[in-house]
């Protein structure tokens, strides 16, 4: 069965500092990987996704993530955070056979706080 681990429940960074949110997945075959952001009381917005090809993927809002098969990781990064980046971030994995059926497995999320 597929699973996702986000080791950091809560991260606080200063505005302008760099950010890395960790995500480790467990899945036997090549996974489809996603990062979503959720603002308080709202739905999820897709930041970026990895299906195949270049292991460094670029997303919206200046985010990027790198797929590392050897480490079963898909960490999210941003070189300089803005106060508006404060939100909950979810990593998710999906098998190719489940894709389209939205059997996404989400991590427990990382809450990002930005301090001035």
Partner 1 sequence: GAVVSQHPSWVICKSGTSVKIECRSLDFQATTMFWYRQFPKQSLMLMATSNEGSKATYEQGVEKDKFLINHASLTLSTLTVTSAHPEDSSFYICSARDHTKAAINSPLHFGNGTRLTVT
Given the rule CB under 8 A, which residues bind partner 1? Answer: 36, 41-46, 49, 51, 90, 99-104, 106-109
Minimum CB–partner distance for residue 80 and partner 1 (Å): 25
Please identify, using beta-carbon distances, which residue of 67 and 90 lies nearer to partner 1.
Answer: 90
Please identify, using beta-carbon distances, which residue of 40 and 116 lies nearer to partner 1.
Answer: 40
Minimum CB–partner distance for residue 42 and partner 1 (Å): 5
Q: Which residues are within 8 A (CB) of 78 and not within 5 positions of it... i.e. 6 or more apart? A: 18, 19, 61, 62, 63, 64, 85
DSSP strand pairing (110-115 vs 10-14): parallel
Q: Answer for the pair 23, 73: CB distance below 8 angstroms, yes or no.
A: yes
Please identify, using beta-carbon distances, which residue of 54 and 102 lies nearer to partner 1.
Answer: 102
Is the alpha carbon torsion for 50, 70, 37, 108 positive or negative? positive
Please identify, using beta-carbon distances, which residue of 61 and 80 lies nearer to partner 1.
Answer: 61
Minimum CB–partner distance for residue 16 and partner 1 (Å): 28
Task: Supply the DSSP symbol for 60.
Answer: G
């Amino acid at each position: 069965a597929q699973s996702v681990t986000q080791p950091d429940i809560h991260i606080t960074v200063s505005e302008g500092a760099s950010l890395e949110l960790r995500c480790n997945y467990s899945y036997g075959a090549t996974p489809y990987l996603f990062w979503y952001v959720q603002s308080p009381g709202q739905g999820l917005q897709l930041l970026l996704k990895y299906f195949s090809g270049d292991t460094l993927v670029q997303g919206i809002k200046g985010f990027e993530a790198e797929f590392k098969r050897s480490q079963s990781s898909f960490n999210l990064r941003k070189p300089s955070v803005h106060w508006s980046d404060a939100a909950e971030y979810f990593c998710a994995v999906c098998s190719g056979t489940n894709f389209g059926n939205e059997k996404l497995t989400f991590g427990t999320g990382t809450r990002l706080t930005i301090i001035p």
